[in-house]
Structure 1
């Protein structure tokens, strides 16, 4: 056969690839390759990394006796395939947790054979998902989970709580509610903040919670120095766990708020002037530390404090993790059983809490088990409000001023007048200097009070803004009726 009669290498590769792989695009335009009958998808533009589609295609061509091809032929074939895939239907790819058909949820076990857990309204099963229902995306952060045990009778939850050093039953039920929330692809969950005295096993407890979802390779990390690195780590995994936080900058605090409730990041595409790529993310987040200093009000509404205590009997790391690995299939099986049970229960959604989805999950957990998770969640938010107030002198001063307002009455002034009023109240007769960070203008004061609105409202003080013909104003109202708990906590 003459050289003119030979089929070009790029056509051989393209024909083979389209016969053995399914190619599709996501909403952001990324093209993925999925081996026929297998749920794991890989972006075709991954180059030079372990497990890339380019490598997968090269190995398949060699093993099936088609041949070994140079890089130019592979590039030309993949360029053609990518162009053809842009006309295909859009499908999403998921990391670890995904929604399925008929109200089901899938959990990726990270196995090479594609076996996953399908959580449906009547139970859960181990199966390989239909590639058109679920496409898994794997990264280096995707660890392998053991096959969960069936018919555990709930003993896995008891085994987990025995290994962790949670301080009380309220903390235990909140940890369980968070784990159930992590198995929901569309439920934003607050970030557990594991705290306690030195030696309480915060890092170990954090690893145990994370590894139920991420496998034994899941671990804690130091907080990245900038938001870009944090976003990259978050986008590559499901649960992001940051260890030993001692300080939280405003930028890091804002980034954590975005991770919990979801946001989209848009950046310029490499080697282009006008094109961009989008990274959308909403992930479960876990934090550990003894004290992170002042907590901003918007982050406080998204935190879930879990207190640990020092264990009475110390064990070696080897003994502890050997036992954990042994019981992990039972723990995962019990968690799946409880998830099915909780999801089958109807409960009213509390309308007064920021994380309403998680509050409803706590109410469902209470209805299914009677644990009292919703009450514990409200108490934890109240404690966090105390932390915010204790770390903010402006909030303390506002509450002191509100004590002088008649219950049910409102007081209205401009932001500048409020600044002078609160500054005089803080300085007092001793004329002490205003602290660093105190508002310097009426506009700064107005912005600070807007951020403090939820915290102050929890203590029976409402802050509102408006405009009249004379200009803008701030109005402070002391609620006519407040709970005994609020009255007790007034500063």
Structure 2
């Protein structure tokens, strides 16, 4: 055969690829390849050292007798495939958890055969999802989960709680609610913050909770020093677990808020002048630490404090993790059973809490089990409000001023007048110096009050903003205390 009659290598590769793989694009324009009948999709431009589409294409061509091709032919073929895929329908790829058809959700077990758990309204089962329903994306952070056990009769939950050192039953039910929330692809869940004295097993408890969802290869990690690295880690996994936090800088605090409730970042694509890369993310988070100092109000509404206590008996790491790995299939099976039961339970959605989806999940958990998770969640938020107030001298001064106002009376002043009033109240007759960070202008005071507004409202002090012909004003009102027979029960 003459050279003119030979099929160009790039055409051989392109024909083989289209016969054995399905190509599609995501909303951000990234093209993925999915082997026929297999739910795992890989970006065709990935240059990973293991499991990239380029490698699986080369291996397939070699095993099927087409030979070995050079890098130029592969690049030209993939360029053509990428261009053709831009006309295909848009489909979303998911990491670990995904929505399915008919109200079902899927949990990726991270197995090479693609088997996953389908959680549906009547139960759960293990199957390989249809490629049109679910496309999994795998990264180096995607660990393998064992097949969950059936018919556990709920004993896996008891086994988990026996291994963890939670300080109270309220903490235990909130940990369970968080795990159930992690199995929901569209439910924002607050970030558990495992606290307790030194030696309480905070890191160990955090690893156990995360490994139920992410597999035994998952581990806690230190908080990255910049936003770009943290976002990269968040985008590559499902649960982001940060260990041994001792301080939350304002930028990190704001970023955590975005991760919990969802956000998007845009940056310039490498080696281009005008192209951009979009990254959307909303992930469950888990934090551990003894004390992180002052907590900002917006982050406090997205945290879930879980207190641990020091164990009475110590065990070796080898013994502890050997037992955990042994019971993990039972724990996961019991969690899936409980998830199905909770999702089927009917409960009203609390309208007074920021994380309404998680509050509704707690109410469903209470309806299904009677654990009292919603009351425990309210108590946690109340404790966090106390932490915010204790760490903010401005909030303390506002509450001190509000205590002198008759309930129901509206006090209106400009931001500058409020600054003068609160500054005078703080300094007092002895003219003590103002603390670092005290507002220096009316605008700064107004911004600080907007951030503190939910915290102050939880203590009965309502802050509002308005405008008259004379200018803008800030209004402060102390909520009337209900009569004793109408007061809400103390949680």
> In structure 1, how many angstroms separate the alpha carbons of the residues matched to 2:182 and 2:269?
31
Which residue does the alignment assign to 1:22? 22
TM-score w.r.t. length of structure 1: 0.98
> In structure 2, how many angstroms separate the alpha carbons of the residues matched to 1:269 and 1:83?
18
Partner of 2:34: helix, strand, or coil?
A: strand
Where in structure 2 are the equivalents of 1:276-287 lying within 5 Å? 276-287=276-287
Which residue does the alignment assign to 1:373? 373
Question: 1:103, 1:121 within 8 Å by CA — same for their partners in 2?
Answer: yes
Question: 1:460, 1:482 within 8 Å by CA — same for their partners in 2?
Answer: no
Which residue does the alignment assign to 1:303? 303
Root mean square deviation, CA, Å:
1.4
Partner of 2:38: helix, strand, or coil?
A: coil
Question: 1:415, 1:473 within 8 Å by CA — same for their partners in 2?
Answer: yes
Partner of 1:23: helix, strand, or coil?
A: strand
Q: Deviations over 1:91-119 (max 9, x none)?
A: 00000000000000000000000000000
> In structure 2, how many angstroms separate the alpha carbons of the residues matched to 1:438 and 1:488?
36
Q: CA deviation at 1:66?
A: 1.0
Which residue does the alignment assign to 2:126? 126
Is it true that 1:135 corresponds to 2:135 in the alignment? yes
Change (3 A) 1:105 1:294: same
Which residue does the alignment assign to 1:208? 208
Where in structure 2 are the equivalents of 1:216-235 lying within 5 Å? 216-235=216-235
Which residue does the alignment assign to 1:394? 394
Which residue does the alignment assign to 1:145? 145
Change (3 A) 1:92 1:13: same
Q: CA deviation at 1:310?
A: 0.2
TM-score w.r.t. length of structure 2: 0.98
> In structure 2, how many angstroms separate the alpha carbons of the residues matched to 1:299 and 1:380?
13
Question: 1:458, 1:486 within 8 Å by CA — same for their partners in 2?
Answer: no
Change (3 A) 1:66 1:295: same
Where in structure 2 are the equivalents of 1:404-423 lying within 5 Å? 404-423=404-423
Q: Deviations over 1:362-403 (max 9, x none)?
A: 000000000000000000000000000000000000000000
Instruction: Detail structure 1 runs of 4+ shifted over 6 Å in the superposition.
Output: 483-489
Q: CA deviation at 1:36?
A: 0.3
> In structure 1, how many angstroms separate the alpha carbons of the residues matched to 2:402 and 2:136?
54
Q: CA deviation at 1:488?
A: 13
Q: CA deviation at 1:224?
A: 0.5
Question: 1:460, 1:486 within 8 Å by CA — same for their partners in 2?
Answer: no
Partner of 1:412: helix, strand, or coil?
A: strand
Q: CA deviation at 1:486?
A: 9.9
Where in structure 2 are the equivalents of 1:230-241 lying within 5 Å? 230-241=230-241
Which residue does the alignment assign to 1:455? 455
> In structure 1, how many angstroms separate the alpha carbons of the residues matched to 2:437 and 2:3?
78
Q: CA deviation at 1:50?
A: 1.2
Q: CA deviation at 1:49?
A: 2.6
Question: 1:459, 1:486 within 8 Å by CA — same for their partners in 2?
Answer: no
Q: CA deviation at 1:202?
A: 0.1
Which residue does the alignment assign to 2:264? 264
Partner of 1:14: helix, strand, or coil?
A: helix
> In structure 2, how many angstroms separate the alpha carbons of the residues matched to 1:425 and 1:49?
63
> In structure 2, how many angstroms separate the alpha carbons of the residues matched to 1:21 and 1:3?
29
Partner of 2:7: helix, strand, or coil?
A: coil
Q: CA deviation at 1:143?
A: 0.1
Q: Deviations over 1:19-69 (max 9, x none)?
A: 000000000000000000000000000024311000010001001111100
Where in structure 2 are the equivalents of 1:154-169 lying within 5 Å? 154-169=154-169
Unaligned 5+ runs, structure 2: none
Partner of 1:82: helix, strand, or coil?
A: helix
Partner of 2:290: helix, strand, or coil?
A: coil
Question: 1:459, 1:487 within 8 Å by CA — same for their partners in 2?
Answer: no
Question: 1:107, 1:118 within 8 Å by CA — same for their partners in 2?
Answer: yes
Partner of 1:61: helix, strand, or coil?
A: helix
Q: CA deviation at 1:436?
A: 0.7
Partner of 2:143: helix, strand, or coil?
A: coil
Partner of 1:387: helix, strand, or coil?
A: helix
> In structure 2, how many angstroms separate the alpha carbons of the residues matched to 1:297 and 1:482?
26
Which residue does the alignment assign to 1:470? 470
Q: CA deviation at 1:200?
A: 0.2
How many residues are matched? 489
Question: 1:409, 1:480 within 8 Å by CA — same for their partners in 2?
Answer: no
Q: Deviations over 1:404-425 (max 9, x none)?
A: 0001111000000000100111
> In structure 2, how many angstroms separate the alpha carbons of the residues matched to 1:370 and 1:288?
28
Is it true that 1:333 corresponds to 2:333 in the alignment? yes
Change (3 A) 1:232 1:389: same
Question: 1:220, 1:243 within 8 Å by CA — same for their partners in 2?
Answer: yes
> In structure 1, how many angstroms separate the alpha carbons of the residues matched to 2:482 and 2:328?
46
Partner of 1:117: helix, strand, or coil?
A: strand
